[in-house]
Copies of this chain bind each other. A is one copy, B any other.
Amino acid sequence: MRWNEYLDHHQERFIDELKALIAIPSVSADPGHAPDMLRAADWVVARLKAAGIAEARVVPTAGHPVVFAEWLGAGSDKPTILIYGHYDVQPPEPYDAWTSPPFEPEIRDGKIWGRGASDDKGGVMAAILGIESVMATEGRLPVNVKFFFEGEEEIGSPSIPDAVRTMAGEMASDMIFSADGLQWSPDQPQIIEALKGMLKLELVVRGPRSDQHSGLHGGGIANPALALAQMLAQLKSTEGLVTVPGFYDDVIDLDDETRAAIARIPYDEAAYLAETGAPATTGEPGYTTRERLWARPTLDVNGLTSGWQGPGSKTVLPAEARAKITCRLVAAQTPEAVARAIEAQVQRVTPFGVTAELKVLPGGAPPFLAPAGHNAGSVASEVLAEVYGRAPYRTRVGGSIPILSTFAEVLGVHAVMLGFSHDDENLHAPDEFFRLDSFRRGQEVYARLLQRLGQG
């Protein structure tokens, strides 16, 4: 039997197994589900062993455990790949918005419905099953394979960077593929070349000791809420240019080839505006909307707090005002250098009569950009083109996936996102589903990937 026939032959059982995994409510955010987290990790270990990956185990961390496994039988002259994914899921609430219960998976309309079906239990299973199909039909794998499935992705992976540093030796690999990711559409594959990094800040402006009467003190002393507004206005122009000196210094400019590749990907402005409900697109001059979204650094205010926020009016001159700020960074910016540039600008623009403090909050991450000619990306591209019958788009994402930065930093490997979810699959919402077509196609991609890598 060929690997392809093996997948066809067992597909019904594979779907039942995915249902069994979805039925374990491994909600990482809810401490009440800690036993389910362990059950899910044990289940995945058992399934890896059943696939022929004998060296599979649950590895404790400071938080939820990691599943680690490896099969190194291809020998040291063959490449080693590491497959990443996560077995934890988003909380299911609100329950009554689900058509069928989140942890009682159902098949309807060629889709499997349940929390985690798409994000990321379907992806984890697709990778395991694709590899099993090769192992089962050929008795061995053409390359060495390691698996690292975490249980904290949905809560920001607080324990994972330390776990990766601790396990760096056993995790050593030539290529990393993440089974947690999206294709462009059910018909169109993509290779995501870049993700943005993150810098999280809080700007606090202080004036009088406590809130003061705005009648008795207005005009006498500075107003921290107004001072905060004046300072924020000195960070970004109304046209969308970040006006912090040095902010763009380390940005790698988009070359013509990359800009052309981005321009070739369909973009529907009306659909984008309908999706967000914004009155218009706007931002840094000189770039298209998609270039700004994908490949230019941003500075956004995420929140403002000061003084009276209830209904009506309260005549206070507030003691302090706060803004939450995040910057999304692109290669080769670093959170540290950008924080220094903003700190210097804050010093320059603090109005007389108030004091200002810029706090760097936890959660910073460097940007991720696959090196030009990245080999794992090229291989994945070829496999995707074979399976879909179309060349993948080369895309970028404005969001941040810190684990990929951690892998790049600690393991020295730029991962390739090779997942098969779609953004219409209610990933963090009620009625999450995964297309059975995508599930099958993901298995095939991982099987072909191994074959392709084995050919050298």
Seen from chain A, the residues whose Cβ lies within 8 Å of a Cβ on chain B are 196, 198, 200, 202, 207-210, 212-223, 225-230, 232-233, 235-236, 238-240, 272, 276-284, 289, 292-293, 296-298, 300-309, 312-319, 321-324, 326, 328, 351-355, 361-363, 397-400
Q: Which residues of B contact A278 (CB under 8 A)?
A: 207-209, 217, 221-222, 353
Q: A226-B301, A238-B227, A308-B303 are in contact. Are A215 and B399 (CB under 8 A)?
A: yes
A306's partner among B304, B318, B355 (CB-CB below 8 A) is B304
Q: Which residues of B contact A221 (CB under 8 A)?
A: 276, 278, 280-283
B207–A279 touching, CB < 8 Å: yes
Q: Which residues of B contact A209 (CB under 8 A)?
A: 276-278
B302–A215 touching, CB < 8 Å: no
Q: Across the A-B interface, give the 4 residue pairs with the lowest CB-CB distance, nearest first.
A: A209-B277, A215-B399, A229-B232, A303-B307
B399–A213 touching, CB < 8 Å: yes
B326–A302 touching, CB < 8 Å: no
Nearest CB of chain B from residue A246's CB, rounded to whole Å:
18
Q: Which residues of B contact A232 (CB under 8 A)?
A: 225-226, 229-230, 233
Residue from A219, A277, A298, A397 having most chain B Cβ neighbours under 10 A? A219
Nearest CB of chain B from residue A158's CB, rounded to whole Å:
12
Q: Which residues of B contact A312 (CB under 8 A)?
A: 200, 361-363
CA distance A300 to B292 in the complex (A): 35
Q: Which residue of B lies closest to A217 (CB)?
A: B276
Q: A219-B240, A219-B292, A279-B355 are in contact. Are A304 and B307 (CB under 8 A)?
A: yes
Q: Which residues of B contact A284 (CB under 8 A)?
A: 219
B314–A307 touching, CB < 8 Å: no
A301–B307 touching, CB < 8 Å: yes
Q: Which residues of B contact A317 (CB under 8 A)?
A: 300, 302
Q: Which residue of B lies closest to A202 (CB)?
A: B313
A236–B240 touching, CB < 8 Å: no
Q: Which residue of B lies closest to A215 (CB)?
A: B399
Q: A229-B229, A302-B314, A308-B302 are in contact. Are A398 and B281 (CB under 8 A)?
A: no
A276's partner among B212, B303, B304 (CB-CB below 8 A) is B212
B304–A216 touching, CB < 8 Å: no
Q: Which residue of B lies closest to A214 (CB)?
A: B300
Q: Which residue of B lies closest to A232 (CB)?
A: B229
Q: Which residues of B contact A220 (CB under 8 A)?
A: 272, 276, 281, 283, 289, 292-293, 398
Q: Which residue of B lies closest to A276 (CB)?
A: B208
Q: Which residues of B contact A202 (CB under 8 A)?
A: 313
Q: What would 12 A/B residue contacts be, using CB atoms closer than 8 Å?
A: A210-B277, A214-B298, A218-B298, A218-B398, A219-B293, A219-B296, A219-B298, A226-B236, A226-B300, A228-B304, A302-B307, A313-B363
Nearest CB of chain B from residue A242's CB, rounded to whole Å:
10
A230–B228 touching, CB < 8 Å: no
CA distance A329 to B316 in the complex (A): 16
CA distance A316 to B355 in the complex (A): 26
A303–B314 touching, CB < 8 Å: yes
B293–A302 touching, CB < 8 Å: no
Nearest CB of chain B from residue A293's CB, rounded to whole Å:
5
CA distance A319 to B165 in the complex (A): 39
CA distance A215 to B212 in the complex (A): 38
Nearest CB of chain B from residue A229's CB, rounded to whole Å:
4
A354–B279 touching, CB < 8 Å: yes
